[in-house]
Amino acid sequence: EVQLLQSGGGLAQPGGSLTLSCAASGFMFRTEAMSWVRQAPGKGLEWVAAIGSSGGTTYYADSVKGRLTISRDNSKNTLYLQMNSLRAEDTAVYYCAKQIGSCTAGNCYFDYWGQGALVTVS
């Protein structure tokens, strides 16, 4: 069974930092591209960042470029989102999501999602 178990949410001050983790199991993590998607309170879904299976390619939404960093440790089956220079508008539930395939292959949609982690910047 595919599982994405998230940790690391919480309260941060404006300008502060936080790291989210997403531990994967039930599939071959090292072969799958992954993304982070967020949802502000009462709002819709916003894609944040994506990373290729090896970690060598990353993509970001303009709203987070230079402040949030996606990374992965394939030896630990874990995806990360390092969040720096946090702003009030970063307040959201953050989901890690498994991509069905690589974006470059035209398969940039999401078949499994983590349970979400709330990040509050205040």
Partner 1 sequence: EIVMTQSPATLSVSPGERATLSCRASQSVSSNLAWYQQKPGQAPRLLIYGASTRATGIPARFSGSGSGTEFTLTINSLQSEDFAVYYCQQYNNWPPITFGQGTRLEIK
Which residues lie near partner 1 (CB under 8 A)?
35, 37, 44-47, 50, 59-62, 95, 100, 103, 106-111, 113-116
Q: Smallest distance from the beta carbon of 59 to partner 1, in angstroms?
A: 4
**One-letter amino acid identity for 61?**
A
Q: Are 73 and 45 in contact (CB under 8 A)?
A: no
Q: Which residue lies nearer to partner 1 by CB, 55 or 116?
A: 116
CB-nearer residue toward partner 1: 83 or 114:
114
Smallest distance from partner 1 to CB 7, Å: 15
Q: What count of residues does the chain have?
A: 122
Between CA 106 and CA 122 the distance in angstroms is: 38
Q: Is-contact 62 117, C-beta < 8 A?
A: no
Q: CB of residue 86 vs partner 1: minimum separation in angstroms?
A: 20
